[in-house]
Amino acid sequence: MLSDTGDVYSCGSGWEHVLVPPGGRLVSRLVAFTDEDTPPEWDRARGTPRVIPALQGVKAIAVSAGAEHSLVLSEAGEVYSWGSSSEGKLGHGDCEYNDATWCCHAPRVIRALQGVRVVAVSAGQNHSLVLSEAGEVLSFGCGGSGRGEFYGMLGHGEDEHDHFTPRLIEALRGVRIVAVSAGGTHSLCLSEAGTVYSFGSGYDGQLGHGDCHSQLTPRVIEGLQGVVRVVGIAAGQGDYAETSFAVSEEGDVYGWGEWKGGESRPCLVPGGEESRQMQSGPYPTACLMVPLQYPNLRLSTA
């Protein structure tokens, strides 16, 4: 959660160091919440929001929580990440599977992004997307190599390898992107012209191309072209949650993927108020929408 003063709060499960409590340390791949005079509390779920001390003094303007990691964007355009480093989704250039380093237990600046002013971030299940001020998209984390149909969510074409540092998606060069959303095994990008691009696994129809084929590079969702002008996107993540949503300029919501039994083309979501923004959570029905009368409210789910 992000306050109007730029402070970041966290709550929920502390598994894999997603919460980063004071004095947190990694022991046998579990998180120990420790205060000076209290015993460890193994994998304790925290129901009360708590400020993240390591980010005090940093004015945050955006947060994104993935399944095993978190991203924070500062007012200065720097990106901080922490949590599980598996598949390289933290962007720090390492991915070690040992008790000492497989997890980053405190927010850490992604040094590889120095010189790039970032304006938006999105944490997926095993990959991350960042959007630069110039409208370019960089991706890092799981490329899906050796994972069957679950591949291509980094958008780098035939290169399905995991990337431990941010890499520019060349296929979007020349297209000004204004929003990004990282899902479980797929990604969505929205252009300044209102065009939606998708890439990654299409197993559940979550790419919106009318089939269940995967895409290694960004592809325009033709089912939305000329029908609506899209102003918001959200990609779902997690088991049984390979979904995608788009909100139109008029406030209508369109969905496709596991949300509608594997529907592979965008279809209008019936009922509900007109919306401006949405966040899709880890289950097909967990989609939060912000009514038009609350334009300044910002959501993030994991």
Strands 118-123 and 45-51, by their bridges, are: unpaired
Which residue stretches of 65-107 are H helix?
A: none
For the chain, give the mean pLDDT. Answer: 79
More reliable by pLDDT, 181 or 41: 181
- Hey, which CATH number is domain 116-302, 3.20.20.240, 3.30.1330.200, 2.60.120.10, 2.130.10.30? 2.130.10.30
The structure tokens listed for 61 are 């303007």
Cα separation, 92 vs 140, in Å, equals 10
294 — pLDDT class (breaks 50, 70, 90): very low
Cα separation, 135 vs 130, in Å, equals 10
Cα separation, 172 vs 34, in Å, equals 45
More reliable by pLDDT, 102 or 213: 213
- Residue 96 to residues 14, 52, 91, 100, 105: CA-CA distances in angstroms? 20, 24, 13, 9, 14
More reliable by pLDDT, 46 or 34: 46
The structure tokens listed for 17 are 């160091």
Cα separation, 296 vs 300, in Å, equals 13
Query: DSSP string of 141-159?
Result: E---TTSTT---TT--TT-
State pLDDT tens for residues 197-213. Answer: 999 999 889 999 999 99
Number of Cβ atoms within 10 Å of the Cβ of 70? 27
State pLDDT tens for residues 227-248. Answer: 899 999 999 876 656 899 999 9
35 — pLDDT class (breaks 50, 70, 90): very low
Assess contact for 240 and 284: CB atoms under 8 A: yes
User: Which range, 76-80, 223-227, 250-254, is most confident?
Assistant: 76-80
Cα separation, 236 vs 278, in Å, equals 11
More reliable by pLDDT, 262 or 91: 91
The structure tokens listed for 98 are 């040992």
- Name the pTM for this structure: 0.81
Place of tokens 């919106």: 208
Largest CA distance in the chain: 62
- Residue 32 to residues 14, 84, 147: CA-CA distances in angstroms? 9, 15, 31
The structure tokens listed for 23 are 């004095």
Cα separation, 250 vs 76, in Å, equals 33
Say if residue 112 is exposed, middle or buried (CB neighbours under 10 Å; 0-12, 13-18, 19+).
Answer: middle
Tell which residue, 212, 252, 200, has the closest CA to residue 229: 252
State pLDDT tens for residues 63-81. Answer: 999 988 999 999 999 999 9
Domain ranges of the chain: 1-111, 116-302
Tell which residue, 137, 207, 229, has the closest CA to residue 176: 137
